[in-house]
Amino acid sequence: MSTFSDDRSAVRFNRVVKTFAHHAGRKLLRERLADLAQPSRTSRFTALDDVSFEVAHGESLGLIGPNGAGKSTILNLATGLALPDSGSIEVHGHVAAILELGAGFHGDLTGAENVRINSALMGLSRRQAAARFEDIVEFSGVRDFIHEPLRTYSAGMSVRLAFSVAVHTDPDVLVIDELIGLGDQQFYARCLERIGDFQKRGKTILLASHALDLLTMFCQRALWLDHGRIVEIGPAAQVAAAYRSGRASGA
């Protein structure tokens, strides 16, 4: 792997290990007490096992691998939502994550109110939020309904609004978990175009996707993960081809 002294890298994972407790769903007092009495009760599984990689400024890295391979864990760690058990993570610049569209949206509030709240949550200042509001509404294409409660929106409409807010936060690093379900063909094309713009402006992208064609179209490099370990990292087309044939042969 490359050296870790390169300050041109936007994202840097160095020997990252992340484990989660099995049965993290047990959260009641008696279970806590039982855990204390018998610590061996809690077993952990390793979501990421000694993962190191770097993404240079302006580069796009694709993450591929089966469900549960650790792709989302990488994205969550890069976004700063969780901390690694060991190893280090560095991210330079402002990060915006599109992990789940519409996180923080509320059905009883209007589209416009949700846009404002989400802008604030994503770190925009009052002035930025006001200045970008028109662009966000325009891009989403739901202007006619912007003062209606969100619960009256179709699923596609609220996804469009959420995506629109996320891409207008103007991040240095954009973290995307899957690019499907983005409404109709026309809107989908506009989203891809927007992401292309990001790249032209030298922004860094981390994209996890099962759509290999899309991934190879956008990303220079790809990282193939399986069971929390890196199988291969390299030029996107090459890694995607290896992943395809690896899957086909059942390896």
Q: Which residues make up the interface to other proteins (CB under 8 A)?
A: 20-21, 24, 27-29, 32, 76-84, 86, 88-95, 97, 99-100, 103-104, 106, 108-109, 113, 116-117, 120-126, 129
Q: Which is nearer to other proteins, 92 or 227 (CB)?
A: 92
How many other C-beta atoms lie within 10 A of the C-beta of residue 72?
17
State how far the Cα of 115 lies from the Cα of 209, in Å rounded to an integer.
Answer: 26
The b-or-e profile of 230-248 (16+ CB within 10 A means b, else e) is bbebeebbebbebbeeeee
To other proteins, the closest distance from the beta carbon of 30 in angstroms equals 9
Selection from 201, 235, 236 nearest residue 58 by Cα: 201
User: Which CB sits closer to other proteins, 59 or 177?
Assistant: 177
Q: Which residues pair with 53 in a beta bridge?
A: 13
Nearer CB in complex with other proteins: 103/217:
103
CB of 103 to other proteins, least distance (A): 4
> How far is it, in rounded angstroms, from Cα 171 to Cα 10?
12
Q: Which residue has the tokens 């650790």?
A: 70
State the Cα–Cα distance between residues 156 and 100, nearest whole angstrom. 14
Cβ proximity to other proteins: between 36 and 180 the closer is 36
For other proteins, the closer CB: 99 or 214: 99
Alpha carbon distance 82, 124 (integer Å)? 22
Minimum gap (Å) between residue 129 Cβ and other proteins: 7
CB-wise, 150 or 215, nearer to other proteins?
Answer: 150
The DSSP code sequence of 66-109 is STTSSHHHHHHHHHTSS--SEEEEEE-S-EEEESSTTTT--TTS
CB of 151 to other proteins, least distance (A): 11
Q: Shortest gap between Cβ of 16 and other proteins (angstroms)? A: 10
| Contact criterion met (CB below 8 Å) for 175 and 98 | yes
Closest approach of other proteins to the CB of residue 184, in Å: 24
